[in-house]
Amino acid sequence: MRKGSLAGRYVKDLLCLWAVFLFCVSWSPVRGLNRDDYLRLRKAMVQEIRADVERTRKWIGKGELDSRVLEVMGTVPRHEFVPVRLRSSAYENRPLPIGYGQTISQPFIVALMTDLLGVGPEAKVLEIGTGSGYQAAVLAELVKSVYTMEIIPDLGKQAKLRLERLGYNNVEVRIGDGYYGWPEEAPFDAILVTAAADHIPPPLIRQLKPRGRMVLPVGDPFATQQLILVEKGDDGEIRSRQILPVRFVPLTGGPHP
């Protein structure tokens, strides 16, 4: 057999294989979504949040959320905050697992809690339960500085790197027990707790400014809880209001045995 024709066949075979590869990649249903796909999905997610607000208006006391909050929900790349294999589900209006038995909260709940905080561009906010860092990123778009605490070291470290990579330079992440808050940075204009306890942690009440607001799930950590809005008066007096039944993962740590 002549050498030239053998080489030619190899080239032909390689070209064939390459063509098959390109065909599979372009038609594969699992191929990655592109920026436009994510933008479209994010817009649809915001519409679902609006619909959920409308459905729950009798609990939350209004039919629309602050337009700045909805705008930010339409901007933050939620697919960057979920495990790669779940990226195509990132904009579904539901919580998703992020490992270590924890979840990234449902978009509607993230938007609602952010809205209830009623924070402006100068606010300093504390979040307990960093998880993926998504809620912290949403807050970071709206306020001056965000301090967020996570009790699971690996989750905290990953969230810190992710937030840095995405350019959120007004977020500080600390690994530690958020039940006790972040006294060195207190007081805060607003505090958000994204894990459930059966009472409002007293250290967090102390770290809230007068006229500050705190939003957190309170109730049986292993069943349904109530989302509570706490307001601290000028005189330090505490008023709280139940908003909506919710389900969060438990707040661990604290003074429990």
Active site residues: 105
- Choose the stretch contacting ligand SAH; rule: CB under 6 A; options: 18-26, 118-126, 230-238, 248-256: 248-256
Q: Are the C-beta atoms of 85 and 97 separated by less than 8 Å?
A: no
Least distance in Å: CB of 227 to ligand SAH? 14
CA 58 to chain centre: 25
What gap in Å lies between CA 85 and CA 112, rounded to an integer?
Answer: 27
Q: Please report how close the Cβ of residue 81 comes to ligand SAH at its closest, in angstroms.
A: 6
Residue 131 found at the interface with ligand SAH (CB under 6 A): yes
Stretch that binds ligand SAH, among 13-21, 28-36, 117-125, 177-185 (CB under 6 A): 177-185
Q: Which of residues 114, 135, 158, 207 is near ligand SAH by CB under 6 A?
A: 135
Q: Does residue 128 belong to the site contacting ligand SAH (CB under 6 A)?
A: yes
Task: With both helix axes pointing from N to C terminus, report the angle between 107-117 and 35-55 in degrees, rounded to the nearest 10.
Answer: 70
Residue 170 CB, shortest distance to ligand SAH, in Å, is 16
C-alpha–C-alpha distance, residues 77 and 45, integer Å: 12
C-alpha 130/C-alpha 162 separation (Å) is 12
Query: Segment contacting ligand SAH (CB under 6 A): 4-12, 20-28, 56-64, 124-132?
Result: 124-132
Asked if 158 is part of the footprint of ligand SAH (rule: CB under 6 A), the reply reads no
CB of 249 to ligand SAH, least distance (A): 5
38, 147, 168, 179: which one binds ligand SAH (CB under 6 A): 179
**Amino acid residing at 123:** A
Closer of 128 and 243 to ligand SAH (Cβ): 128
Residues in contact with ligand SAH by CB under 6 A are: 102-105, 128-129, 131-132, 134-135, 149-152, 155, 177-179, 194-195, 249, 251-253
